Amino acid sequence: MIFTKTVLNDAMIVDIERKEDDRGFFARSWCRREFEAHGLNPNLAQCNISFNPKKGTLRGMHLQVKPYEEAKIVRCTRGSLCDVIVDLRPDSPTYKKHLSAVLTSENRRMLYVPEGFAHGFLTLEDATEVSYQISEFYRPESQLGFRWDDPAFAIAWPAEVRLISDRDRSYPNFGG
C-alpha cells in the first residue's frame, strides 16, 4: 500500500499498490503491520457498508467521542463520492480544518480518518456503495454530529445535496 500524508495531522490517503499480470491485478487493501508502521490505529472492531441509490445523498457530519473514539478507513466500492473529514481535536495543529477527497470504485483510494475527526460524504453518482473499516464498536450514546453546511468549516461540497436524513439535517452547528 502507498500511504500519503495529508494537510490534516494524522489523516492519510491510502492507495493500493497493484501487482499486475495477464489475469488482472492483485493488491493489498489492509495490513496491520503496515498501518502500525505508519503510526495508524490498526484495530478493527467492525466493517460496515453504506449503499446510496441516489446521486446527491449526503451522510454526515458524524463522529464518536471519548471513550469510544473511532478511527475509520473509508473506501468507495461502487460509484463515486466526495469524502470530507474535519479535525476536531482541540490540541491538534489542524484543529477545525477539513479535507475532502474523491473516492471512486475506479481509483480504489482509501481515506484514513483518525480518532477525533468528524466524517461525512456526498455521493457523486447513483448507486454508490461505501465500505468502512472501524476501530471501535458503534456506541449510539457516544455519537455526535454537526451540520454539513456549518459556516465554521465552510465545506465546499462539489455537487447539490439532494437527499439528507432528518437527523443529519437537524444537527446544530459545531459548538452551537
Residues with a known catalytic role: 62, 132
Nearest CA to 107 out of 76, 130, 141 is that of: 76
Q: Decide if 80 contacts 146 (C-beta within 8 A).
A: no
Cell 473509508 -> residue: 74
